[in-house]
Amino acid sequence: MDIITTIVYIVLFVIMMVFVFSIGMLRQYMPKREILLVLGVAFLIGAIGGAFFLDPIYDELPAVVSTVEKTIPNNEETLHLDLSSSIDTNQLRSTLSSMEGFKSFEEKSIIIPMWSFSEREHDYFDSIIGNIDSHYKEYEVTSNAINIELEDNYTSSQALKSFSDWYKLVYGETISYAQIKADLVVDSSKLDDFEQALLEKGIVATNIEGPIQDSLNNTNSSMLTNFEFTLFCGGIGVVVAIFGIYMDSIVPAYRRFRKFLRTKRKR
Protein backbone atom coordinates (compact mmCIF):
# COMPACT_ATOMS: atom_id res chain seq x y z
CA MET A 1 0.00 0.00 0.00
CA ASP A 2 1.44 3.39 -1.01
CA ILE A 3 1.83 6.33 1.38
CA ILE A 4 -0.92 8.44 -0.21
CA THR A 5 -3.50 5.66 0.14
CA THR A 6 -2.42 5.10 3.74
CA ILE A 7 -2.83 8.79 4.57
CA VAL A 8 -6.25 8.89 2.90
CA TYR A 9 -7.45 5.84 4.87
CA ILE A 10 -6.24 7.31 8.17
CA VAL A 11 -7.91 10.66 7.42
CA LEU A 12 -11.20 8.92 6.58
CA PHE A 13 -11.08 7.00 9.86
CA VAL A 14 -10.38 10.23 11.78
CA ILE A 15 -13.36 11.85 10.07
CA MET A 16 -15.53 8.94 11.21
CA MET A 17 -14.26 9.42 14.78
CA VAL A 18 -15.07 13.14 14.58
CA PHE A 19 -18.60 12.16 13.57
CA VAL A 20 -18.78 9.74 16.52
CA PHE A 21 -17.51 12.49 18.85
CA SER A 22 -20.22 14.83 17.53
CA ILE A 23 -22.89 12.21 18.19
CA GLY A 24 -21.62 11.91 21.76
CA MET A 25 -21.86 15.66 22.29
CA LEU A 26 -25.56 15.50 21.43
CA ARG A 27 -26.15 13.46 24.59
CA GLN A 28 -27.53 16.48 26.48
CA TYR A 29 -30.38 16.64 23.97
CA MET A 30 -31.22 12.97 24.37
CA PRO A 31 -32.95 10.96 27.09
CA LYS A 32 -30.46 9.18 29.36
CA ARG A 33 -31.64 5.80 28.18
CA GLU A 34 -30.39 6.69 24.67
CA ILE A 35 -26.75 6.70 25.82
CA LEU A 36 -26.46 2.94 25.26
CA LEU A 37 -27.73 3.42 21.73
CA VAL A 38 -25.09 6.12 21.14
CA LEU A 39 -22.37 3.80 22.42
CA GLY A 40 -23.64 0.95 20.25
CA VAL A 41 -23.63 3.17 17.15
CA ALA A 42 -20.13 4.41 18.07
CA PHE A 43 -18.88 0.83 18.35
CA LEU A 44 -20.44 -0.08 14.99
CA ILE A 45 -18.95 2.94 13.23
CA GLY A 46 -15.52 2.33 14.78
CA ALA A 47 -15.60 -1.34 13.78
CA ILE A 48 -16.65 -0.57 10.20
CA GLY A 49 -14.04 2.16 9.90
CA GLY A 50 -11.37 -0.14 11.30
CA ALA A 51 -12.30 -3.00 8.98
CA PHE A 52 -12.34 -0.86 5.83
CA PHE A 53 -9.65 1.73 6.50
CA LEU A 54 -7.26 0.66 9.27
CA ASP A 55 -7.17 -3.12 8.81
CA PRO A 56 -5.44 -2.93 5.38
CA ILE A 57 -2.81 -0.65 6.95
CA TYR A 58 -2.44 -2.95 9.95
CA ASP A 59 -1.85 -5.92 7.64
CA GLU A 60 1.12 -4.05 6.14
CA LEU A 61 2.84 -3.70 9.53
CA PRO A 62 5.13 -6.77 9.12
CA ALA A 63 6.28 -5.47 5.73
CA VAL A 64 7.03 -2.06 7.25
CA VAL A 65 9.07 -3.64 10.06
CA SER A 66 11.02 -5.78 7.59
CA THR A 67 11.75 -2.69 5.48
CA VAL A 68 13.40 -1.11 8.50
CA GLU A 69 15.59 -4.20 8.95
CA LYS A 70 16.66 -3.98 5.30
CA THR A 71 18.12 -0.53 5.88
CA ILE A 72 20.45 -1.72 8.66
CA PRO A 73 23.98 -2.29 7.29
CA ASN A 74 25.66 -5.73 7.43
CA ASN A 75 22.42 -7.64 8.03
CA GLU A 76 22.41 -11.01 6.27
CA GLU A 77 19.71 -13.50 5.35
CA THR A 78 20.26 -17.23 4.84
CA LEU A 79 17.96 -18.92 2.33
CA HIS A 80 17.71 -22.70 2.69
CA LEU A 81 17.10 -24.23 -0.73
CA ASP A 82 15.91 -27.67 -1.83
CA LEU A 83 17.12 -28.19 -5.39
CA SER A 84 16.76 -30.95 -7.93
CA SER A 85 19.95 -32.55 -9.24
CA SER A 86 18.67 -31.69 -12.73
CA ILE A 87 19.52 -28.05 -11.96
CA ASP A 88 22.97 -26.92 -13.04
CA THR A 89 24.21 -25.71 -9.65
CA ASN A 90 27.39 -24.29 -11.16
CA GLN A 91 25.38 -22.07 -13.47
CA LEU A 92 23.06 -21.14 -10.60
CA ARG A 93 26.05 -20.22 -8.46
CA SER A 94 27.48 -18.11 -11.28
CA THR A 95 24.17 -16.26 -11.77
CA LEU A 96 23.68 -15.56 -8.08
CA SER A 97 27.29 -14.57 -7.41
CA SER A 98 27.09 -11.90 -10.13
CA MET A 99 24.26 -10.12 -8.29
CA GLU A 100 24.83 -7.26 -5.88
CA GLY A 101 24.48 -8.37 -2.27
CA PHE A 102 25.70 -11.95 -2.81
CA LYS A 103 27.64 -13.42 0.13
CA SER A 104 27.95 -17.15 -0.41
CA PHE A 105 26.33 -20.21 -1.97
CA GLU A 106 27.14 -23.56 -0.43
CA GLU A 107 25.84 -27.03 -1.27
CA LYS A 108 25.36 -28.70 2.10
CA SER A 109 24.08 -32.21 1.38
CA ILE A 110 22.29 -34.53 -1.02
CA ILE A 111 19.39 -36.89 -0.41
CA ILE A 112 19.32 -39.93 -2.71
CA PRO A 113 15.88 -41.59 -2.81
CA MET A 114 16.00 -45.40 -2.77
CA TRP A 115 13.55 -48.25 -2.29
CA SER A 116 12.20 -49.42 1.07
CA PHE A 117 15.20 -51.15 2.62
CA SER A 118 14.99 -54.42 4.42
CA GLU A 119 16.92 -54.58 7.68
CA ARG A 120 19.77 -56.40 5.96
CA GLU A 121 19.95 -53.87 3.12
CA HIS A 122 19.84 -51.00 5.59
CA ASP A 123 22.76 -52.43 7.57
CA TYR A 124 24.74 -53.04 4.37
CA PHE A 125 24.37 -49.47 3.07
CA ASP A 126 25.04 -48.09 6.54
CA SER A 127 28.37 -49.93 6.66
CA ILE A 128 29.53 -49.20 3.12
CA ILE A 129 28.58 -45.55 2.37
CA GLY A 130 31.49 -44.08 4.31
CA ASN A 131 33.97 -46.02 2.15
CA ILE A 132 32.62 -44.82 -1.21
CA ASP A 133 34.00 -41.29 -1.08
CA SER A 134 36.27 -39.64 1.48
CA HIS A 135 34.53 -36.30 0.84
CA TYR A 136 31.33 -37.52 2.44
CA LYS A 137 31.43 -35.57 5.70
CA GLU A 138 28.56 -37.40 7.37
CA TYR A 139 25.85 -39.72 6.15
CA GLU A 140 22.59 -41.26 7.32
CA VAL A 141 20.70 -44.22 5.92
CA THR A 142 16.95 -44.00 6.47
CA SER A 143 14.31 -46.56 5.59
CA ASN A 144 14.14 -45.45 1.95
CA ALA A 145 16.84 -42.82 1.31
CA ILE A 146 20.48 -41.96 1.87
CA ASN A 147 21.42 -38.53 3.21
CA ILE A 148 24.99 -37.43 2.57
CA GLU A 149 26.50 -34.29 4.09
CA LEU A 150 29.20 -32.75 1.90
CA GLU A 151 32.58 -31.34 2.82
CA ASP A 152 33.25 -27.69 2.05
CA ASN A 153 33.99 -26.96 -1.63
CA TYR A 154 32.72 -30.40 -2.64
CA THR A 155 29.77 -30.17 -5.01
CA SER A 156 26.60 -32.22 -5.13
CA SER A 157 27.32 -33.33 -8.71
CA GLN A 158 30.65 -34.78 -7.61
CA ALA A 159 29.04 -36.58 -4.68
CA LEU A 160 26.22 -37.95 -6.83
CA LYS A 161 28.67 -39.11 -9.50
CA SER A 162 30.86 -40.99 -7.02
CA PHE A 163 27.83 -42.71 -5.51
CA SER A 164 26.38 -43.48 -8.95
CA ASP A 165 29.68 -44.98 -10.12
CA TRP A 166 29.80 -47.26 -7.08
CA TYR A 167 26.12 -48.20 -7.45
CA LYS A 168 26.60 -49.10 -11.13
CA LEU A 169 29.64 -51.22 -10.27
CA VAL A 170 27.72 -53.14 -7.58
CA TYR A 171 24.18 -53.22 -8.96
CA GLY A 172 24.71 -52.57 -12.66
CA GLU A 173 22.34 -49.59 -12.69
CA THR A 174 22.78 -45.82 -12.59
CA ILE A 175 21.56 -43.34 -10.00
CA SER A 176 20.80 -40.05 -11.75
CA TYR A 177 18.60 -38.12 -9.30
CA ALA A 178 19.07 -36.60 -5.88
CA GLN A 179 17.68 -33.73 -3.88
CA ILE A 180 20.26 -31.06 -3.11
CA LYS A 181 20.16 -28.94 0.03
CA ALA A 182 22.01 -25.64 -0.32
CA ASP A 183 22.37 -22.42 1.66
CA LEU A 184 22.41 -19.02 0.00
CA VAL A 185 23.60 -16.08 2.12
CA VAL A 186 22.74 -12.58 0.88
CA ASP A 187 22.66 -9.00 2.07
CA SER A 188 19.31 -8.30 3.75
CA SER A 189 18.74 -5.19 1.64
CA LYS A 190 18.85 -7.34 -1.54
CA LEU A 191 16.69 -10.23 -0.32
CA ASP A 192 13.79 -9.39 -2.65
CA ASP A 193 16.10 -9.36 -5.69
CA PHE A 194 17.46 -12.82 -4.91
CA GLU A 195 14.01 -14.26 -4.19
CA GLN A 196 12.85 -12.96 -7.57
CA ALA A 197 15.91 -14.38 -9.34
CA LEU A 198 15.30 -17.78 -7.76
CA LEU A 199 11.59 -17.65 -8.60
CA GLU A 200 12.42 -17.06 -12.26
CA LYS A 201 14.22 -20.41 -12.16
CA GLY A 202 11.32 -22.10 -10.39
CA ILE A 203 13.07 -22.15 -7.01
CA VAL A 204 11.45 -21.08 -3.74
CA ALA A 205 13.37 -21.08 -0.46
CA THR A 206 12.02 -23.66 1.98
CA ASN A 207 13.11 -21.49 4.91
CA ILE A 208 14.75 -18.12 5.49
CA GLU A 209 16.76 -17.18 8.56
CA GLY A 210 17.99 -13.72 9.47
CA PRO A 211 16.95 -10.34 10.93
CA ILE A 212 14.19 -9.75 8.37
CA GLN A 213 12.57 -13.14 8.87
CA ASP A 214 12.94 -12.83 12.65
CA SER A 215 11.21 -9.44 12.61
CA LEU A 216 8.42 -10.84 10.40
CA ASN A 217 7.90 -13.82 12.70
CA ASN A 218 7.94 -11.71 15.87
CA THR A 219 5.57 -9.12 14.41
CA ASN A 220 3.14 -11.71 13.06
CA SER A 221 3.09 -13.60 16.37
CA SER A 222 2.27 -10.43 18.33
CA MET A 223 -0.39 -9.05 16.00
CA LEU A 224 -4.11 -9.27 16.62
CA THR A 225 -6.29 -11.23 14.23
CA ASN A 226 -8.40 -9.23 11.79
CA PHE A 227 -11.49 -9.89 13.90
CA GLU A 228 -9.76 -8.81 17.12
CA PHE A 229 -8.42 -5.67 15.45
CA THR A 230 -11.90 -4.80 14.18
CA LEU A 231 -13.26 -5.14 17.73
CA PHE A 232 -10.40 -2.95 18.99
CA CYS A 233 -11.33 -0.24 16.49
CA GLY A 234 -14.93 -0.54 17.67
CA GLY A 235 -13.63 0.05 21.20
CA ILE A 236 -11.87 3.20 19.99
CA GLY A 237 -15.20 4.42 18.67
CA VAL A 238 -16.80 3.82 22.09
CA VAL A 239 -13.99 5.71 23.88
CA VAL A 240 -14.33 8.66 21.47
CA ALA A 241 -18.09 8.69 22.01
CA ILE A 242 -17.62 8.71 25.81
CA PHE A 243 -15.31 11.72 25.49
CA GLY A 244 -18.02 13.45 23.48
CA ILE A 245 -20.74 12.54 25.99
CA TYR A 246 -18.82 13.87 28.96
CA MET A 247 -17.09 16.74 27.18
CA ASP A 248 -19.08 19.29 29.17
CA SER A 249 -17.68 17.82 32.37
CA ILE A 250 -14.13 17.13 31.14
CA VAL A 251 -13.35 20.65 29.88
CA PRO A 252 -14.29 22.50 33.11
CA ALA A 253 -12.43 19.89 35.17
CA TYR A 254 -9.32 20.34 32.99
CA ARG A 255 -9.52 24.12 33.39
CA ARG A 256 -9.81 23.81 37.19
CA PHE A 257 -6.82 21.48 37.20
CA ARG A 258 -4.69 23.95 35.21
CA LYS A 259 -5.77 26.80 37.50
CA PHE A 260 -4.78 24.68 40.50
CA LEU A 261 -1.32 24.04 39.02
CA ARG A 262 -0.76 27.75 38.29
CA THR A 263 -1.83 28.68 41.83
CA LYS A 264 0.54 26.09 43.28
CA ARG A 265 3.49 27.42 41.25
CA LYS A 266 2.85 30.98 42.47
CA ARG A 267 3.03 29.81 46.06
| 81 and 22 housed in the same domain | no
Residue 19, in any domain of the structure: yes
Residue 55 lies in a domain: yes
Q: What is the pLDDT of residue 71?
A: 80
Looking at the structure of the chain, the number of domains it has is 2
Residue 129 lies in a domain: yes
Indicate the burial class of 50 (C-beta count within 10 angstroms; 0-12, 13-18, 19 or more): buried
Does one domain contain both 83 and 62? no
For 247, residues 6+ apart whose C-beta sits below 8 A from its C-beta are 24, 25
Q: Is residue 243 part of a domain?
A: yes
pLDDT for position 55: 93
143 and 35 within one domain: no
| Same-domain status, 132 and 158 | yes
Residue at which a domain ends, from 208, 236, 254: 208
Residues in the chain where the model's pLDDT stays below 70:
1, 249-257, 259-267
Domain boundary among 187, 208, 229: 208
Give a yes or no: residue 227 inside a domain. Answer: yes
> 85 and 180 share a domain?
yes
Do both 119 and 175 map to the same domain?
yes
250 plus 159 within the same structural domain: no
- The reported pTM is 0.73
Please tell me whether residues 133 and 191 are part of one structural domain: yes
- Residue 213 domain flag: no
Tell me which residue range forms the domain holding 43.
3-66+220-266
pLDDT digits (tens, 9 = 90+) for 43-83: 999 999 999 999 999 998 888 888 877 888 888 999 999 99
Report the pLDDT value the prediction gives residue 153, as an integer from 0 to 100: 85
In a domain, 215, yes or no: no
Do 109 and 49 share a domain, yes or no?
Answer: no
88 and 57 belong to one structural domain = no
Does residue 174 sit in the same domain as residue 84?
A: yes
- pLDDT score recorded for residue 136: 92
Q: Tell me the torsion sign for CA atoms 217, 219, 224, 227.
A: negative
| pLDDT score recorded for residue 260 | 62
Q: Name the burial class of residue 91, with classes exposed (0-12), middle (13-18) and buried (19+) by CB atoms within 10 angstroms of its CB.
A: exposed
